[in-house]
Amino acid sequence: MHLLRFIRAATQKQKTQITKSSLMKRIFSILAIACFMALPLISLAQPGGDEDVVDVPIDGGLSFLVAAGIGYGAKKLHSLRNQKEEAPQI
């Protein structure tokens, strides 16, 4: 819904200045929220097998920790690259 309003504002050439980075940030945040909302649906234990086996979730939140670690590492890598580009050449 927000993305449609954002694109509609861009096509109507309103006063707001739309940059490629702001559009990419908004799309990335919408996709990240959608992935986190869909994660519980795919991480449920599958029924079947023996009758005396109790079904339990596989990870119990470990995937969130892995995703957070990957995100933190990507952020640090991005900031290091920006620092190298902004460093003055001697």
**pLDDT by residue, tens only, the chain of 90 residues:** 667 776 776 666 545 566 878 888 888 999 999 988 888 877 766 665 666 666 666 666 788 888 999 999 999 999 988 888 776 666
Q: Where are the domains positioned within the chain?
A: 60-85
Closest CA to 2 of 28, 25, 30: 30
Residue 22 is encoded by which pair of tokens? 């702001």
Q: Whole-prediction pTM value? A: 0.34
**Cα distance between residue 22 and residue 3, in whole Å:** 11
